[in-house]
Amino acid sequence: MNTINEYLSLAEFEAIIFGNNKVVISDIVLNRVNESFNFLKEFSGNKVIYGVNTGFGPMAQYRIKESDQIQLQYNLIRSHSSGTGKPLSPACAKAAILARLNTLSLGNSGVHPSVIHLMAELINRDITPLIFEHGGVGASGDLVQLSHLALVLIGEGEVFYKGNRRPTQEVFEIEGLKPIQVEIREGLALINGTSVMTGIGVVNVHHANKLLDWSLKCSCAINELVQAYDDHFSQELNQTKRHKGQQEVAARMRQNLSDSTLIRKREDHLYSGENTEEIFKEKVQEYYSLRCVPQILGPVLETINNVASILEDEFNSANDNPIIDVKNQHVYHGGNFHGDYISLEMDKLKIVITKLTMLAERQLNYLLNSKINELLPPFVNLGTLGFNFGMQGVQFVATSTTAESQMLSNPMYVHSIPNNNDNQDIVSMGTNSAVITSKVIENSFEVLAIEMITIVQAIDYLQQKDKISSVTRKWYNDVRNIIPVFKEDQVMYPFVQNVKDYLINS
């Protein structure tokens, strides 16, 4: 159970989304929200406040008479509920609710307290709004996508409930929930902000950390397969470079391989003084995809950590407009809704996850090319060469999927298109960046699934099951419970999907 109070950590955020922890709203938050609401209601009585008694965007020059101000908020929500494309996953939609809830709980938005209560109920009862991937330019925040959340909060639109897509009104009747009370600026406060791109970003970071761990484990296993020397992940070598990510990846490799009987020490072989060959049968050092793992995954690790820090700052920030300041008795107009921070971080994240995917694809190619590894049959084919195909078919999938991620890794951050009658003349495209990053992450799980199947086949061919480290043996056994040792050709797509699911859900 997590109490929304002053600051929500990323770990607490993830525990709510992925651990199904419940949300509790503290008295501190409720008092803060009440004060903000009451102040704005009084303060806006004889002043011009954007989105309270004015139109929106380029139409902010038009005063809205008091009798129409509540209807104005409904008009805003309904008109902007215009998303298209695929629905966001329930995890991403739930994360968007939580990010918005945390922002509104800061007391800088002037919303009615019913908003806070209902959003917490949606999270705790696992009711997620239908939010589409397409629609936001990330300038006044996620206007379109957040409108779909707001639409649910006013009792309209659709939700996902117990695995089914259903009208909001039906689900509210089943659960005994009532729509929010719209009073002053509930529409604008709900849709003006970065909470969808931020929520998707948190889900992306969660999965990126899993990918990093699996990539590291695969890299360790391949080093075991070839009986590599240990100096490339040694503390002594990696501490000569000052990058913390590289040092941590090397340390994780040492931990993962600590009880492997396959990893060798250079002093026992090439440094023994007994080798007199003119042309060495043993490799002096491995290909880059095996030897440079700390240098390749180090930047990935550091980038994931940096992205996580920015996300945590964002969902603990006031990111709507205008900002209600009860302490100073003022309302400030500005651009906290702009999504450039998240857009840039999602671009960084998709770039490093694509690089991680490229590493997996190259390691896979190493295993499948017998002329390179000089250990395994072509395509790790445990059947009859020429008659059977081994992993040949799935390599095409890994290569194709990696290529798609390379293309998708072009940045959205620099692809601003002016819109909204040029009122939004430079925008972030942050939600697009976050959604595309999700696709790159999904692609990476697919490539790693194919690599893992290949590794376990190689372990069996080399009869190394009893020699690999306990860490490698654990996931080897898990994958073997999903896919049997095969010599005859198999229909591969169910196996790839099942291993992919294992990687995501473990």
CA distances from 297 to 27, 112, 293, 353, 488 (A): 44, 46, 6, 10, 35
What is residue 213's predicted lDDT score, i.e. its pLDDT? 98
Supply the residues annotated as catalytic: 50
Return the CATH fold of 203-505: Fumarase C; Chain A, domain 2 (1.20.200)
Residues of the chain with CATH 1.20.200.10: 203-505
Q: Report the distance separating Cα 83 and Cα 68, nearest Å.
A: 26
Residue 368's pLDDT is what? 96
State how far the Cα of 242 lies from the Cα of 238, in Å rounded to an integer. Answer: 8
Contact 90, 131 (CB under 8 A): no
Question: What is residue 417's predicted lDDT score, i.e. its pLDDT?
Answer: 76
Residue 420, Ramachandran bin (φ over 0: left; ψ between -120 and 50: alpha; else beta): left
- Taking domain 2-192, whether its CATH number is 3.30.70.100 is answered by no
In the prediction, which pLDDT does 437 show? 98
Task: Collect the ranges in the chain with pLDDT lower than 50.
Answer: none
pLDDT reported for residue 60: 77
pLDDT at 50: 84
Quick one: pLDDT at residue 428? 80
The residues of the chain that CATH labels 1.10.275.10 are 2-192
Residues 199/99, Cβ–Cβ less than 8 Å: yes
Q: How far does the chain reach from its first CA to its final CA, in angstroms?
A: 22
92 C-beta neighbours (distance < 10 Å), count: 24
Identify the pLDDT of residue 67. Answer: 84
Instruction: Give the distance, in angstroms, between the CA of residue 45 and the centroid of all CA atoms in the same chain.
Output: 43
Global pTM reads: 0.95
Asked if 173 and 100 touch (Cβ cutoff 8 Å), the reply is no
φ, ψ of residue 117 to 5 degrees: the values are -65, -45
pLDDT value of position 422: 62
If phi > 0 it is left, if psi is from -120 to 50 it is alpha, else beta; for residue 81 that is beta
Q: What was the pLDDT predicted at 421?
A: 66
Q: Write b or e for each residue in 39-68: b if 16 or more Cβ atoms lie within 10 A of its Cβ, otherwise e.
A: bbeebbeeeebbbbbbbbeeeeeeebeeee
pLDDT for position 414 = 86
113 contacts 104 by C-beta, under 8 angstroms: no
